[in-house]
Chains A and B, each alone.
Chain A
Amino acid sequence: MHGPESSSSETALLAALRCGDEDAFSALVDAYGAAMYRVALTFVRSSAVADEVVQEAWLGALRGLDRFEGRSALKTWLLRIVANIARTHAVREARALPFSSLELAREAGSEHEPALPVDRFQGPDGQYPCRWVSFPTPWSAEPDTALLSAETRKLIADTIAGLADGQRIVITLRDVEGWDSAEVCSVLKISETNQRVLLHRARSKVRAVLEPYLTSESP
């Protein structure tokens, strides 16, 4: 998701939309609706609530059309609206400020979890302290020894679903949805550092889950 500014075709679409052109609106819904729905699901998890969030977001976008100045891409603007509304709904689902920037910062600042158990590395008395006890085994490229791709992705999806909120949202937006770091920070209102801490923990966990399945060599 890139594009710092609205393109001229977007400008034309927006102009048509401001005149109430339904085809222009349909085009927009088809272009961005699915992404908006996926973002909503990342925050609220229930598809019924995600439906509400997406509907509200489109209404909010229509009402806010006049205020959209094209300084960001239209897609960015729409996804920010979704994220903001999703956060409001998540609060209403009776969890205390789960996705406030304060909460995410708190999650990022919580005690450091190592990317791998410390016993993977030699201790201070080892021959080479802090080096691998044994090197990780390269993952197999052979389909018959590694998990089938679809199974791998299911494993990843399940792992992500089980992560703490901040980690789940950041890895979904960055690695599943392909947003860049600046966009994630802008929408979640967290610092690059905090965002990267959450991403690091999430990715380390996903990699660790995959490791026993994708390592070709039997022990």
Chain B
Amino acid sequence: MNNEFKCQEMIEVVTNYLDDALPPDEQQRFESHLSYCAGCDTYVDQMRETIRQTGLVPREESLPPALRERIVAQFRAWKRS
């Protein structure tokens, strides 16, 4: 029983867990703790939700047109050289 993760350790190890980077015995202890600790189970869900929302942060989906033009012009110059 002394081998078990405490909650304060769980929150430090969660990133490794979510990356599948825990050694098998630690992964087992992590999941075992989640099965009986609602607090840590909630925390891991929140971390997953944080990651999910971060993936939805808006970002440029196309190059600024002026930049794109310069890049193409640069290509033409390169081609000629």
Interface assignment of A13: CB less than 8 Å from any CB of chain B: no
A139 neighbours in B (Cβ, 8 Å) = 45-46, 49
Please tell me if the beta carbons of B53 and A152 are within 8 angstroms of each other in the complex. yes
A134 to B7, CA, bound (A): 11
Query: What class of interface size applies to chain A in its complex with B?
Result: 35 or more
From residue 28 to 47 of chain A, which have CB atoms closer than 8 A to chain B? 29-30, 33-34, 37-38, 41, 47
Chain A interface (Cβ within 8 Å of chain B)?
Answer: 20, 22, 25-26, 29-30, 33-34, 37-38, 41, 47, 51, 54-55, 58-59, 62-63, 114-116, 118, 121, 129-132, 134-139, 149, 152-153, 156-157, 160, 171, 175-178, 181, 192, 196, 199-200, 203-204, 206-207, 210-211, 214
- B17 → A minimal CB distance (Å): 11
> Is there an interface contact between A29 and B46, defined as CB atoms closer than 8 Å?
no
Closest 10 CB pairs of A and B: A135-B39, A130-B6, A200-B15, A175-B54, A132-B39, A130-B8, A33-B63, A207-B50, A121-B8, A115-B11
B residues with a Cβ closer than 8 A to A are: 6-9, 11-12, 14-16, 19, 21, 37-40, 42-43, 45-47, 49-51, 53-64, 67-68, 70-72, 74-76, 78-79
Contact B58 A25 (CB under 8 A): no
B68 contacts across to A, CB distance below 8 A: 29, 33
Could you pull out 8 A-B pairs where Cβ atoms are within 8 angstroms?
A29-B71, A33-B71, A59-B74, A131-B7, A132-B7, A135-B39, A200-B14, A207-B47
